[in-house]
Structure 1
Amino acid sequence: MIFTPDGVASAESNMTRFIAFAKEDLTIWGPDLIFDEPIWDVTDSYFVRGRPHRIKLRFCDRDKEGTFTPVPLEEPFAAQIKSVLRYRESIERREAAPLLSLSAYKTLLQAYRTTGMVPNLTNLTSSLVDTAVAIAGETSSYHAARVGVALAELSRFLFTNRLAPFAPPDYRHGVSRSYRKASEKGLPSEEALEALPKARLLATHPRDVILTNVMALLVVAPSRINELFALPSHCEVRPLDPHDDRYMLWWAGSKRHQDFIKGIPEALTPLAKESIGLLRKCTSAARDVALWYEKNPGALFLTSDLEHLRGKDLSVDDISLITGITSKWWATNRRLKSVVGGPTARYSFGEVERLFIAMLPSTFPIMDRKTGLKFSEALLVVPKNLFDMKTQAFTCMFEPITYSRVQEGFMKAGGYSHASACRRQTSL
């Protein structure tokens, strides 16, 4: 029997179906197998010449002396690895029981515990597999290699069957110690980690509110930051079941990962909701401007109270009202030619309009070519120059938030940048 994952369901939903399938529909190791028991006796399914002892799959821990304890492994990890082992054995019968695979999965459980993550295969990542291989390497390089091979197979299986969206489909074990140490040097300091929540609570300027809540989203929903840039403003997903109160976000995949629905842990749901709400509020004006340009190609955005200026020669004060820039020298610095005649400098509306139309992103109206997301639909789109510390933001033009903007807003290789959101807030 073949398990068929739901192509549009979340990994958590597919995993629930997969466990039920393995528990109720499969008969490998006997139709009377008690799935929830921590020890499975599978002796009758294998013949091992010269070894008359019982063959048991033990889903429980060992004590310090290496003896199995009666305490079962924690859920949902135990049910997940039971299902994987039973299903894979039903697809491809092997001469030996999957004791080595089970041992590797227990090493993976150690990796979850070491990193402090909840043991759940749906959130498997290459970093977790690396940690498991490193733990196995403390015994011997041979053991590390065997664990790496087993976990590479597990990762590929989970990814292919839509059970773990971040599981590496082509994992290669054997991360060098020097590479691991170099990676650890790039981790933020304890000081920086402690400053993040404080900076978020103290932030008032839209720039800082956006930056700190982007980081909050990366905490509640760990992922590649480029996937965050492809979030639509309406990214919250309501479960079809009215009794299901889980909080989920529609997420754009990357690096061969498909788009998927990401469930947020219940304890982090309030933070996720608040961060999405604050980001949406701080970026709504930019989306409105982008939508206006979609509907009015070739024209300059004006608020309704400034429409009377369209097509007229503009004073310096008029330009300030249109652009949001209070500098009296803005037009001069842009080398706009003033209209001849009159006691004060005035500028052609057409010249100002052409200057701003040229600022539109080259891919407009599409922001993310992979998903087709428009600027007018994106969560992370802001007034142009909002993150420029030396000038004011334009009220008539927009731009996407980029990786460099987030990077500059926090830490650089040499320490805090001049634009650090943490430094601005924590120095208050």
Structure 2
Amino acid sequence: MPDKWQPMIEVLETRPQRDARQRLADFVLQARTDCAAFGTDLDWDRPDWDITAYCPQPANKSHSRSVIYFTTHEGGSSKSMKGRTPLPEPFASLIKAIVRTRQDGNPQSVHPLSRIVNAARDLSLELADRGHDPCRLLPQDFAAAANRVRQRATGASVYRLGQALEIIAATIDAKGIGFCRLDWKNPIPRVANNGSRQSEVADSARSRSIPDDEVFDALAAIWNAVEDESDVVLMGAVTLLHCAPWRIVETLGINENCEIEEQKEGVNGPVFDLDGIGIFRFGIRYWKEKSGEPDVKWIPTVMTDVAKLAIERVRSATAGARELARWLHDHPGRAWLPDPDLDPDKLYTVRDVQAMFGMAAPAAALLWLKQHGVPLEDQLRTSGGKMRKVVRRADLEVALLADMPIIPASDRETPLHERLFLSFRNAHHATRATNPCLLEIVSDQQIRDFLGGRNGIVASGFDRILQRKDLVARTHQFRHWLNTLAQAGGLEQGLIARWSGRDDVAQNSEYDHLTPTFLAEQARELLHGGKVIGPLADIHTSLPPVKREAFAETVIATAHVTEIGFCLQDWNSSPCPEFGACATCESAAIKKGDRFARARAAQMRDDNAWIAERLIAEVDDGTIGASQHHRATVDVVSALDRIIAIHDDPTIEDGTLVQPNATSPAHYGGPDIRITA
């Protein structure tokens, strides 16, 4: 008999808990058997789903396969299951069900689906002590996962992973899977570059997103010096990135016949110069990467000749590859070889293959044949009586066709023989010989290698051509640079969005890296040019001309963009005394005619008017502080009404800076300036 009796405690599961587990099982079963997303033959139990057939990557993407890995963070960068650990069950089945049902209801690319899995990896770590049971997830588990995301992710991906966590929480609530309701919202804010141009985030984004001046000078030198066809093609793509805010995938996907030129149209019809000659604009046809819609990228007049030359040089350098592609198009089912004899039973020796493929040695040709499963036959030499290896032309053609680039079945993908950025296989490889019998689509990875090298193995164009190991650039930097130039030039936000190929004007802010100093210079130029209305302009006009420059530099040391216009408060000298109250602040200035700012002001006006109406009932009930809150809210509504009226005033020229709050702010220059005035 044991010395001490120990009772056995069994925790009984409640009915709500049993119901939650049953709903989880039903949800997983529905996703597994009733969803059509990713095909009816999907191997549900695999931790890696190859969904390339349903979410194809663009042909010029360096990684052509679309795979979702339902694995933990360990080995997360591997392009296979080697080194990866599958997510534990039953948590993995929930995430698979979420991914498949979302794709079934709203088909999308692989990237947002992979983000859900990426966020789920952090969430899975919080369930390690509860058997990875998703029914037992709590709001604090999602909060902890969000903190993990903040620690490991950077840039815009932090916010997006937080949104993915919110999707998981919302699905659990909607399906009644959890033991308790989560009601969890993403706490990670979406960081916009124009929110604070003096913060470390803004400074880091600016330095990371805009190439150094030396990079531009070096690229110009390379473009003028390159003659090798491979470098001409790669540098041609980079040159086009200078001409318009492309995404690199869009640039590499354009058609050989991509140019369009048409006469400009004005209010009264076609536009002519003073000599009566028509003024034309030049554009390049392309497919938008995100929406997949066809569009025209219009090139600024000053860059038209540069863009035309780049296209012409690339077209010439890739003409041979396109000729091979046309031959393949005209001879379906056949592969091209330098031998004009098309007899499928003709035999070639390994040395013949070496010569046709442009390889350095027979051993390289033999290795290629074995790797591609080409049957080798023994043939008796005509002299010497020894045997040698030969291959039939038909078998060789089968291997060549299988090794050609695969174009996804999509209207947006240009056929091989019509693509501008098309090369012979290995034309851009550092060590391998160019194979004139095979083709490859110029990839984003090859452009990245040209601009930045790779892991000390591949030298960049800066290093190879100019012996500058210190220079590095990224393809997306040129998109940020051109957007910032457009912002600096005052281009209307809708035009910037359209020129950049984006559908949401609000996304412009992510690519706006103007510094507070530059914005202040713009504001001072407007002040000197008489295009500012308000107390600042009154003081400036009343000053002697010799003191106006000093006054402007003193009171407009920096400037900042707000939701409704500009802030002229110098945050370098003191923090904002009216933080969050831009509409009623004396330092506020609006740019007349800014449609985005007007729309935001109108929305804020409606929101505050709604609050003011409901505060009346609180005032009548005698709620403490309600009357003060009501007065402050009414003041905000009145200020926003003034701002909207300024935007709608036809007597004020568009682009004019207007201070809507007439009281002269105390920090404008101090008493001495007012006395002098």
Q: TM-score w.r.t. structure 1 length? A: 0.53
Which shifted more, 226-235 or 182-191?
182-191
1:329 is matched with which residue: 346, 357, 363?
363
Q: Does 1:205 align with 2:249?
A: no
Q: Does 1:358 align with 2:402?
A: yes
What's the counterpart of residue 284 of structure 2? 249
Shift of 1:257: 7.4
Give 2:335's aligned amino acid: L
2:432 is matched with which residue: 362, 372, 391?
391
Give 1:420's aligned amino acid: S
Match of 1:269, SS?
helix
Q: Does 1:378 align with 2:400?
A: no
1:427 is matched with which residue: 461, 467, 492?
467
Q: Does the 8 Å CA contact 1:313/1:339 hold for their aligned counterparts? A: no
Distance of 2:282 and 2:304 partners within structure 1: 6
Deviation readout 1:174-209 (Å, 9 max, x if unpaired): 478444334334343443332111111221221111
Match of 2:404, SS?
coil
Match of 1:299, SS?
coil
Rg (Cα) greater in structure: 2
In the TM superposition, 1:297-312 aligns within 5 A as 297-303=332-338, 306-307=340-341, 310-312=344-346
Q: Does the 8 Å CA contact 1:198/1:425 hold for their aligned counterparts? A: no
Distance of 2:439 and 2:201 partners within structure 1: 40
Q: Does the 8 Å CA contact 2:243/2:307 hold for their aligned counterparts? A: yes
Structure 2: segments with no counterpart, 5+ residues: 1-191, 264-269, 271-276, 382-387, 469-677
What's the counterpart of residue 295 of structure 1? 330
Give 2:437's aligned amino acid: C
What's the counterpart of residue 115 of structure 1? none
1:318 is matched with which residue: 329, 332, 352?
352
What's the counterpart of residue 519 of structure 2? none
Change (3 A) 1:345 1:256: closer
Match of 1:382, SS?
strand
User: How many equivalent pairs are there?
Assistant: 253
Q: Does 1:348 align with 2:392?
A: yes
What's the counterpart of residue 111 of structure 1? none
Shift of 1:340: 1.4
Q: Does 1:280 align with 2:315?
A: yes
Distance of 1:292 and 1:386 partners within structure 2: 19
Distance of 1:308 and 1:381 partners within structure 2: 25
What's the counterpart of residue 235 of structure 1? 258
Change (3 A) 1:319 1:175: farther
Deviation readout 1:108-141 (Å, 9 max, x if unpaired): xxxxxxxxxxxxxxxxxxxxxxxxxxxxxxxxxx
Shift of 1:295: 2.7
Change (3 A) 1:189 1:342: farther
Distance of 1:191 and 1:417 partners within structure 2: 24
Distance of 1:298 and 1:379 partners within structure 2: 23
Q: TM-score w.r.t. structure 2 length? A: 0.34
Distance of 1:375 and 1:278 partners within structure 2: 19
2:202 is matched with which residue: 166, 180, 183?
180
Q: Does the 8 Å CA contact 1:409/1:417 hold for their aligned counterparts? A: no
In the TM superposition, 1:3-82 aligns within 5 A as none
What's the counterpart of residue 222 of structure 1? 245
Distance of 1:417 and 1:410 partners within structure 2: 14
In the TM superposition, 1:20-169 aligns within 5 A as none
Change (3 A) 1:254 1:331: closer
Q: Does 1:411 align with 2:452?
A: yes
Shift of 1:413: 8.2
Q: Does 1:193 align with 2:228?
A: no
Distance of 2:253 and 2:342 partners within structure 1: 36
Give 2:308's aligned amino acid: K
Shift of 1:412: 5.0
Give 2:422's aligned amino acid: V
Change (3 A) 1:413 1:354: closer
Change (3 A) 1:175 1:397: farther
Distance of 2:427 and 2:289 partners within structure 1: 27
Give 1:421's aligned amino acid: G
Match of 2:291, SS?
coil
Q: Does the 8 Å CA contact 2:426/2:435 hold for their aligned counterparts? A: yes
Shift of 1:379: 0.9
Distance of 2:215 and 2:194 partners within structure 1: 31
Match of 1:238, SS?
strand
Shift of 1:302: 2.6
Give 1:262's aligned amino acid: K
Deviation readout 1:224-266 (Å, 9 max, x if unpaired): 1111122100111131679343322213223337432222222
What's the counterpart of residue 72 of structure 1? none
Distance of 1:378 and 1:395 partners within structure 2: 17
Q: Does the 8 Å CA contact 1:306/1:322 hold for their aligned counterparts? A: no
Shift of 1:417: 6.4
Distance of 1:191 and 1:332 partners within structure 2: 46
Match of 1:268, SS?
helix
2:377 is matched with which residue: 339, 363, 382?
339
Which shifted more, 320-329 or 393-402?
320-329
Match of 2:354, SS?
helix
Distance of 1:226 and 1:175 partners within structure 2: 31
Change (3 A) 1:257 1:341: closer
Shift of 1:356: 1.0
Structure 1: segments with no counterpart, 5+ residues: 1-170
Q: Which has the higher contact order (CA 8 A, sep 6+)?
A: 1
Change (3 A) 1:413 1:315: closer
Q: Does the 8 Å CA contact 2:350/2:389 hold for their aligned counterparts? A: yes
What's the counterpart of residue 295 of structure 2? 260
Match of 1:405, SS?
helix
Give 1:298's aligned amino acid: G
User: What's the % identity of the aligned pairs?
Assistant: 21
Distance of 1:231 and 1:255 partners within structure 2: 15
Measured on the aligned residues, the alpha-carbon RMSD in Å equals: 2.9
Match of 1:388, SS?
coil
